Amino acid sequence: MNQRQLVAGGKSSDGGGRPGKNGDGAERHETIYQSISDAIIEHRLKPGARLREDALAEVFGISRTGIRKILQRLAMEQLVTLTPRRGASVTRPTADEAKDVFDARQMVECGLMPEVARRITAEDAQSLRELAVREREALRAGEQSVAIKLSAAFHGRLARISGNATLAAFVERLCSRSSLILAVYGNAGHLGCESHDHDDLVGYLVSGNGERAQAFMSRHLKAIEASLSIHVEEDEAPDLFEIFSG
């Protein structure tokens, strides 16, 4: 019983502290999923970090069964990589994947802007501006982790406004992966620093100017992508012939 536990450790409101019978099991899983997901997106778990099932099971106070379920979900979202007999590790995106993700964001997020401009309400705009403010505050406070997560949340919520749940979920996953890409290829202290892009974007949207918002989003994403330093590091499977025959 002296094991360190998280998630339900703060509340511990399940009567007598019996660890096995906590209220709703599904919510528990969801919370743990969020914890791990956030840790990855906020770069507290860096790409390549191994995620051993035993360790996670002990930390969160559930059995490996539940952990495996969560890891598989994270794997489907490509936040972690499952190597057959080696277990799970935080995904290290390749340069190709990075390009694919940003191309996809260009297509989908830009394509969504007209519809978003048509549907956005005052509350939506307010909520978005709030996210943008908090993002800038976090950035100013030096909390890059929080800023990254807030930026992803901004883009995700934006997509939700379109009303298309399928595309919104896709965008959210692309944003999560983008966070990983930033962790590998991003230049520290250079990501969207202090830029008012998000505020400006909301401005164009509330004024109903979908075309302009679309163009602006395109430039915004291009700027982020351009700020990456894509050094094609071919760690795995280096071409030995190429290397030693030259």
Partner DNA sequence: ATGCCGCTCATTGTATACGCTTTCCGCTGC
Partner DNA sequence: GCAGCGGAAAGCGTATACAATGAGCGGCAT
Give the footprint of DNA on this chain (CB under 7 A).
20-21, 25-26, 28-29, 50, 52-54, 62-66, 68-69, 82, 84-88
CA dihedral 63, 69, 73, 78 (to 10 degrees): 70
Nearest approach, Cβ of residue 60 and DNA (Å): 9
Nearest approach, Cβ of residue 38 and DNA (Å): 20
Closest CA to 220 of 105, 94, 115, 100: 105
Contact call for residue 230 and a second copy (CB under 8 A): no
Closest CA to 34 of 86, 77, 64, 97: 77
- Cα within 13 Å of Cα(221), Cβ side: 25
Q: Which of 53, 97, 143, 199 touches a second copy (CB under 8 A)?
A: 97
Q: List CB contacts of 63: < 8 A, sequence separation 6 or more.
A: 57
Contact call for residue 23 and a second copy (CB under 8 A): no
Closest CA to 109 of 73, 154, 159, 70: 159
Give the orientation angle of helix 144-161 with respect to helix 122-140, to 10 degrees. Answer: 170
Residue 180's CB: how many other CB atoms inside 10 A?
A: 25
Contact call for residue 166 and a second copy (CB under 8 A): yes
- C-beta closer to a second copy: residue 84 or 189: 84
How many of the chain's residues bind a second copy (CB under 8 A)?
22
- C-beta closer to a second copy: residue 59 or 101: 101
- Cα within 13 Å of Cα(156), Cβ side: 17
Nearest approach, Cβ of residue 189 and a second copy (Å): 28
The region of 1-9, 95-103, 190-198, 204-212 touching a second copy under the rule CB under 8 A is 95-103
Contact call for residue 174 and a second copy (CB under 8 A): yes
Q: Which of 7, 53, 89, 100 touches a second copy (CB under 8 A)?
A: 100
- C-beta closer to DNA: residue 51 or 116: 51
User: How far is the C-alpha of 196 from the C-alpha of 90, rounded, in Å?
Assistant: 31
Work out what residue 165 binds among DNA, a second copy, none; the CB cut-off runs from 5 to 8 Å by kind.
a second copy
108-137 binders of a second copy (CB under 8 A): 108, 111-112
Residue 50's CB: how many other CB atoms inside 10 A?
A: 13
Q: Which residues pair with 51 in a beta bridge?
A: 88
The region of 50-58, 144-152, 159-167, 202-210 touching a second copy under the rule CB under 8 A is 159-167
Q: Which residues bind a second copy (CB under 8 A)?
A: 26, 69, 72-73, 76, 84, 96-97, 100-101, 103-104, 107-108, 111-112, 164-167, 170, 174
